[in-house]
């Protein structure tokens, strides 16, 4: 099912359901490359941990909740994940220097803690 993308993101506020549908769609990355404003709008919405969690839950409905799952489905998820990794690269490196080695787990903890290294380490230690 083709996802209709409103060409004017300033006049829209995508619902969690719409965000999940776009992330699931393997062709969304190609379509969004011609709409950088909408792409930025989606990235900005997914920077909010609560929205990010809700979208991931919708994508993973019926599966265990894993923050990185959109990468496995293609679509925009890989782009968002890459941007989050770039955003938190300094924090990832700091945590890795402390002896943690699973970069995806580190990134998930940083996303959940909004980049707070101390809270991310607490989360990693409780897993």
Higher pLDDT among residues 44 and 9, named by residue: 44
Burial of 73 (0-12, 13-18, 19+ CB in 10 A): middle
Tell me the C-alpha to C-alpha distance, in Å, between residue 98 and each of 101, 121, 126: 9, 9, 16
* Interval 66-97: pLDDT, tens: 444 433 334 555 666 777 888 899 999 999 99
Cβ contact 41:95 at 8 Å: no
* Interval 25-52: pLDDT, tens: 766 766 777 788 887 888 888 888 888 8
As a whole number of angstroms, the distance between CA 54 and CA 96 comes to 28
Does residue 98 have a pLDDT over 80?
A: yes
């Amino acid at each position: 099912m083709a996802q209709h993308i409103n060409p004017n993101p300033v006049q829209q506020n995508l619902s969690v359901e719409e965000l999940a549908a776009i992330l699931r769609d393997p062709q969304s990355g190609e379509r969004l490359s011609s709409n950088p404003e909408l792409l930025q709008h989606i990235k900005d919405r997914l920077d909010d941990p609560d929205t990010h969690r809700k979208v991931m839950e919708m994508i993973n409905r019926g599966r265990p909740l894993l923050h990185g799952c959109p990468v496995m489905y293609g679509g925009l998820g890989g782009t968002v994940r890459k941007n989050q990794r770039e955003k938190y690269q300094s924090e990832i490196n700091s945590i890795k220097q402390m002896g943690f080695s699973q970069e995806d787990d580190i990134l998930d903890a940083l996303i959940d803690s909004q980049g707070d290294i101390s809270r991310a380490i607490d989360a990693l230690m409780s897993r």
